[in-house]
Homo-oligomer: A and B are copies of this chain.
Amino acid sequence: MQRYKRELRIPGPAPVPAEVSLQMARPMINHRGRTFQTKFPEIMRRLQPLFGTERTIYMITGSGTAGMETAVSNLLRPQVPVLCLVGGFFGRRWQELCQAYGADVHTLEFSWGSGIKPPAVGDYLKQHPEIELIFVVHNESSTAVLNDVEKIAKAREGHQALLVVDAVSSLGGVPFKMDEWGVDVVVSASQKCLMAPPGTAFISVSARAFEYLKDNPQGRYYFDLRKYAEYLERGETPFTPNINNVFALEAALDMIEAEGLDNVYARHNLMRDMLRSGIKALGLELLTTKQDASPTVTAVKIEQADAFRARINQRFGVEFAGGQGVHAGKIIRIGHMGYATPLDVLTALAVLEIELGKFGQAVKAAETVLAG
Contacts and interface: CB of A to CB of B under 8 A. Distances in A.
Interface of A: 6, 8, 10, 12-16, 18, 21-22, 24-33, 61-66, 69, 72, 96-97, 100-102, 189, 191, 197-199, 219-222, 224, 238-245, 319, 321
A110 to B, nearest CB: 22
Contacts of A100: 219-221, 224
B33 A14 contact: no
A13 B30 contact: yes
A264 to B, nearest CB: 19
A101 B30 contact: no
The number of times this chain is found in the oligomer is: 2
A242 B197 contact: yes
A197 B28 contact: yes
Given A63-B241, A197-B242, A243-B197, A221 B69 contact: yes
A69 B70 CA distance: 13
Contacts of A241: 63, 198-199
A62 to B, nearest CB: 5
Given A13-B240, A245-B199, A221 B65 contact: yes
Given A65-B239, A220-B100, A25 B21 contact: yes
A198 B96 contact: no
A72 B220 CA distance: 11
A306 to B, nearest CB: 12
B65 A62 contact: no
A62 B222 contact: yes
A207 B75 CA distance: 34
Contact of A24 (B12, B24, B29, B96): B24
Nearest to A219: B100
Residue in A24, A28, A97, A220 whose Cβ sees the most chain B Cβ within 10 Å: A28
Nearest to A76: B219
